[in-house]
């Protein structure tokens, strides 16, 4: 067996012990909040049938799906295939040699799950799912080919209570993670449709929102320029301008919109939805979140049909750390029409970076082994074993460094693993029955009985 260089595929990551406990801390914190609001965890397989995924993410998305080669003699089915140099060999061959692919997101597998298990699930079905997904994107800083998504969705309920509760979930989870200043932006697809209808260009809603969305970056002049390039006219701009520049608090914005969209049935419906969501929300105690109606918010526009959410932290320079919205036909692609749902997603990798930057990981998160027992030789090891047993019986995380290593190496081990206490056992300690206990943070060293030690570790 030839030696192989120890590397991993580009765009993928190993998670070492420190990163793992921090990631688990984030996921556990979010999971707990999901659970508090009645959301239940599910998991779907890493591989889905290729036809389940194909066509769901656009042509570009299809390209980015990792396909899995059929097992065994995968070229068997392709033997009859005649290929000429001009043909797109890869494309023609694909369905013959691959039937499975790695999941690209959690939404399509969830839709597939809902239809496949429709007779078992409780409706409204509130599920959350935290699993990796894979995309053959070009890797770059902060963009990986394997990354975790963290989604919660409810399907089968059109109540806007769900929307309000998702805002509460964002608030509670992110506040529990220690964030102190973040904004949950809210918009509604129906309002955007109303605006596009108002200027008589309902089919241009995407161009319109894409341009408006850039207000922060390119300013009003830039937005107007882009709109004109996309086929909007000066009379359209006259209508759009006050909407783009809408200011004030949420109530003031809604009032202005109400006048602007007075004649738009769909626009009024969107305003109603936002108002109802906010009125639900008024009953709930929010911790740190600011709620902002933002008409430039348009994520996943060809997908969402009602409220749209996006979360941004105001404490660090970072894109969105979460988003979601309501959709009216999640499962139509699998033959079950008209199932409405709403869902949100947490951007776990970005939240990790924010917590790290703001130094928000609590030190208790890292608490592994509490005490390391260091011994000089075999006799000391024998002396130490009953102590080790007593510590563990008292449910204290304890390790004994096997005898034979130099004390320096043992101390280094404690340091590297962030073990707060080290008990050293040598000849003196065996004779006196008093252990030397070192506090690794302060450097303080005390002599202590075994009973005293156990008491101290349990304190």
The only residue of 27, 42, 269, 365 in contact with a second copy, by rule CB under 8 A? 42
The only residue of 247, 283, 364, 442 in contact with a second copy, by rule CB under 8 A? 283
Q: Which stretch binds a second copy (CB under 8 A): 224-232, 245-253, 256-264, 399-407?
A: 399-407
Contact 437, 446 (CB under 8 A): yes
Contact 330, 111 (CB under 8 A): yes
DSSP secondary structure string for all residues of 133-161: EE--PPPBTTB-SEEEEEEEEEES---TH
**Cα–Cα dist 392/52, whole Å:** 49
Interface with a second copy in residues 123-162 (CB under 8 A)? 123-124, 127, 132, 134, 136, 145-146, 157, 159, 161-162
Q: Which stretch binds a second copy (CB under 8 A): 121-129, 196-204, 302-310, 436-444?
A: 121-129
Distance from chain centroid for Cα 365: 19
The only residue of 60, 82, 90, 359 in contact with a second copy, by rule CB under 8 A? 90
Q: C-beta of 331: minimal distance to a second copy in Å?
A: 8
Q: C-beta of 71: minimal distance to a second copy in Å?
A: 4
Contact 341, 326 (CB under 8 A): yes
Whose tokens are 């290593």? That residue is 405
Interface with a second copy in residues 327-366 (CB under 8 A)? 333-335
DSSP secondary structure string for all residues of 160-207: THHHHHHHHHHHHHHHHTT---EEEEEEEHHHHHHHHHHTT-GGGHHH
DSSP secondary structure string for all residues of 83-108: --TTS-HHHHHHHHHEEEEE---SHH
Q: Does 385 bind a second copy (CB under 8 A)?
A: yes
Q: Does 80 bind a second copy (CB under 8 A)?
A: no
The only residue of 27, 57, 61, 64 in contact with a second copy, by rule CB under 8 A? 64
CA dist 427 to 99, 313, 378, 383, 400, Å?
A: 67, 57, 11, 10, 17
> Which residue lies nearer to a second copy by CB, 88 or 234?
88
Q: Does 27 bind a second copy (CB under 8 A)?
A: no
Binding mask 235-274 for a second copy (x = CB under 8 A): ----------------------------------------
> Which residue lies nearer to a second copy by CB, 100 or 438?
100
Reading the block at residue 197, the tokens are 């209808």
> Which residue lies nearer to a second copy by CB, 22 or 253?
22
Q: C-beta of 422: minimal distance to a second copy in Å?
A: 13
């Amino acid at each position: 067996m030839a030696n192989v260089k120890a590397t991993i595929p580009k765009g993928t990551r190993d998670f070492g012990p420190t990163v793992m406990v921090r990631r688990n801390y984030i996921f556990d914190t979010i999971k707990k909040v999901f659970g508090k609001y009645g959301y239940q965890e599910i998991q779907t397989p890493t591989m889905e049938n290729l036809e389940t995924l194909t066509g769901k993410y656009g042509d570009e998305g299809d390209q980015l799906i990792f396909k899995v080669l059929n097992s065994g003699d995968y070229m068997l089915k392709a033997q009859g295939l005649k290929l000429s140099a001009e043909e797109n060999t890869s494309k023609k061959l694909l369905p013959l040699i691959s039937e499975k692919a790695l999941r690209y997101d959690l939404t399509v597998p969830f839709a597939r799950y809902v239809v496949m298990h429709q007779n078992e699930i409780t409706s409204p079905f509130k599920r959350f799912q935290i699993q990796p997904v894979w995309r053959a994107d070009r890797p770059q800083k902060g963009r990986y080919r394997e990354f975790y998504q963290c989604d919660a969705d409810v399907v089968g309920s059109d109540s806007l209570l769900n929307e309000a509760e998702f805002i509460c979930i964002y608030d509670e989870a992110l506040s529990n993670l220690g964030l102190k200043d973040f904004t949950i932006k809210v918009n509604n697809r129906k309002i955007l449709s109303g605006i596009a209808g108002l200027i008589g260009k309902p089919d241009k809603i995407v161009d319109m929102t894409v341009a408006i969305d850039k207000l922060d970056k390119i300013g009003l002049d830039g937005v107007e320029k882009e709109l004109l390039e996309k086929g909007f006219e000066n009379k359209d701009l006259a209508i759009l301008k006050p909407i783009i520049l809408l200011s004030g608090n949420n109530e003031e914005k809604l009032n202005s919109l109400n006048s602007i969209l007075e004649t738009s049935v769909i626009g009024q419906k969107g305003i109603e939805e936002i108002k109802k969501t906010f009125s639900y929300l008024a009953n709930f105690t929010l911790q740190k979140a600011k709620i902002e109606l933002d008409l430039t918010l348009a994520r996943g526009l060809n997908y969402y049909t009602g409220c749209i959410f996006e979360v941004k932290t105001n404490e660090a320079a970072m894109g969105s750390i979460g988003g979601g919205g309501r959709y009216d036909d999640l499962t139509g692609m699998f033959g079950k029409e008209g199932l409405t749902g709403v869902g949100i997603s947490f951007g776990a990798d970005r939240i990790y970076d924010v917590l790290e930057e703001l130094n928000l990981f609590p030190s208790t998160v890292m608490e592994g082994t509490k005490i390391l027992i260091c011994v000089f030789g075999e006799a000391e090891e024998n002396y130490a074993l009953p102590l080790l047993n007593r510590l563990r019986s008292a449910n204290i995380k304890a390790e004994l460094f096997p005898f034979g290593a130099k004390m320096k190496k043992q101390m280094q081990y404690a340091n590297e693993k962030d073990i707060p206490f080290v008990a050293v056992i040598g000849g003196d300690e065996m004779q006196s029955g008093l252990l030397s206990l070192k506090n690794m943070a302060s450097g303080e060293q005390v002599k202590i009985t075994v009973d005293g030690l156990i008491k101290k570790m349990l304190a």
